[in-house]
Amino acid sequence: MIKIPQIQSAKKRMRQNARRHERNQVRRDARKQTLKKMRRAITSGDKSTAESLMPQLMKVADKAAKHNVIHANKAARLKSRLVKKIQAIG
């Protein structure tokens, strides 16, 4: 059974939540796709591709953290670990 709000402010809140959910999904998917590309490059040992993807990943991770899709510490941890893995390749 789906609960449909009766109060106007609750209806507005529901619309806002739906829009925010969509935007968060786009940011989350962008981060995941970039992360997959990066991990593929690292496991294959392609350092140049991994280094070229790093600024893109940093931008996506920082934007996700800025908009509270992920925690700021998670973004920092993710970037730090990937930089270490890229440095270990060469």
Which pLDDT does position 2 carry in this prediction? 81
3-state secondary structure of 70: coil
Tokens read off for 61 = 């991770």
pLDDT at 90 over 80: no
Indicate the DSSP class of residue 50: H
Rounded Cα distance between 26 and 34, Å, is 12
Which pLDDT does position 72 carry in this prediction? 96
Average pLDDT, the chain: 93
Which pLDDT does position 3 carry in this prediction? 84
3-state secondary structure of 68: coil
pLDDT at 68 over 80: yes
Which pLDDT does position 45 carry in this prediction? 92
